[in-house]
């Protein structure tokens, strides 16, 4: 898992129920995952629990993280899986 130091920004990928992917960013990964687990992180993750953290990408600044998150979210699912080099099955 990536460094959870509060000053370290990262983009993260969650695999949710039915193999749905969620991409987010944070500067405190540990707290953000706890928020998702409580159902307070995002409406999407809350409605597609359970989830698993499958990828973290460290970023130097918040703007780098926001830019990467936006670029990844625009991609089709197959491109996300390929670029992120993650192993995941099709959506059921």
Displacement of CA 22 from its chain's centroid (Å)? 5
Question: What is the rounded distance in angstroms from the CA atom of residue 91 to the CA atom of residue 14?
Answer: 14
Q: Is 65 within the bounds of a domain?
A: yes
73: domain range? 9-84
Contact 86, 55 (CB under 8 A): yes
Q: What is the pLDDT of residues 57-71, one digit of tens each?
A: 999 999 999 999 999
Q: Is 3 within the bounds of a domain?
A: no
The tokens describing 9, both together, are: 């920004």
Residue 6 has pLDDT above 80, yes or no: no
For 56, list phi and psi in degrees, rounded to 5. -130, 140
Q: What is the pLDDT of residues 11-56, one digit of tens each?
A: 999 999 999 999 999 999 999 999 999 999 899 999 999 999 999 9
Residue 2 has pLDDT above 80, yes or no: no
Residue 3 has pLDDT above 90, yes or no: no
CATH value at residue 78 = 3.40.1440.10
pTM: 0.87
Q: Is 28 within the bounds of a domain?
A: yes
Q: Is 27 within the bounds of a domain?
A: yes
Q: Helix crossing, 62-74 with 77-84: angle to 10°? A: 130
Q: Is 89 within the bounds of a domain?
A: no
């Amino acid at each position: 898992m990536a460094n959870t130091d509060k000053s370290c920004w990262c983009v993260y990928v969650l695999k949710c129920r039915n193999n749905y992917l969620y991409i987010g960013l944070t500067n405190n990964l540990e707290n953000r995952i706890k928020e998702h687990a409580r159902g307070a992180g995002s409406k999407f993750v809350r409605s597609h629990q359970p989830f698993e953290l499958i990828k973290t990408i460290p970023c130097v600044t918040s703007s780098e993280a926001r830019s990467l998150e936006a670029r990844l979210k625009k991609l089709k699912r197959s491109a996300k899986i390929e670029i992120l080099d993650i192993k995941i099955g099709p959506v059921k």
